[in-house]
Amino acid sequence: IQPNPIVLRLLAKLKLDQEEFKDAAALYELAVKLDPNNKVWLQGLGLAYGKSGAADKLEGVLKRLVDLDYESAGPRKKLAALLLERKDYAQAVRYGRLALHIDVMDPDVHRVLGQAYAELKQIEQAIDEYSAVIELDAEDLETPLILAKLLIAANKPLLARERLESLLKAHPEMTA
């Protein structure tokens, strides 16, 4: 006897709402076994894994979503961030760049790419990504400092100074 998909979906959603993430994950796992290409089931499973701390299982679900969902930057973005956290910098760059092909205006993806490139010692690429973050997120006060450090490392101290001066001009409260 196969479970009713509607009942399964409602029960899994209820478990998520009650923050019973392991139970929700078990229900979504059952649903994915019944319909392995169902993006809704996989998204629910990914959410349950993410909330329950099962990052090892989350990676596989995100990769599956990347393969199935050509229009969404979300799974690529989350996978890039997860891989960055795991210090798999080359793969973080890979999935971050895939996310940018869908949403080039996402400062969080540029931030992940900047950090991954910096860890890979690809300083010029890191500078480009952090510069994009500054253009896209004017309220971010941490990134200009990171960018200045990278510019100094790239032997561009005058450009670093210009960036910091423009930050101080835009945010005079930082000088107090």
Q: What is the DSSP string of 48-108?
A: HHHHHT-HHHHHHHHHHHHHH-SS-SHHHHHHHHHHHHTT-HHHHHHHHHHHHHH-TT-HH
The reported pLDDT for the residue numbered 176 is 65
pLDDT(1) > 70: yes
Tokens 């940018």, located at residue = 100
Q: What is the mean pLDDT of residues 125-146?
A: 94
Q: What is the mean pLDDT of residues 146-165?
A: 95
3-state secondary structure of 1: coil
- Quote the CA–CA distance of 90 and 94 in Å, as a whole number: 6
pLDDT category at 175 given cuts 50, 70, 90 is: confident
The average confidence (pLDDT) of the chain is 94
Residues with Cβ within 8 Å of residue 164, at least 6 apart in sequence: 144, 145, 148
Task: State the pTM of this model.
Answer: 0.88
* Residue 127 near residue 154, CB atoms below 8 Å: yes
The reported pLDDT for the residue numbered 138 is 84
Give the rounded percent of residues in the chain with a pLDDT score beyond 70: 99
Higher-confidence residue of 139 and 49: namely 49
The reported pLDDT for the residue numbered 139 is 86
Q: List pLDDT tens digits, range 71-112.
A: 999 999 999 999 999 999 999 999 999 999 999 999 999 999
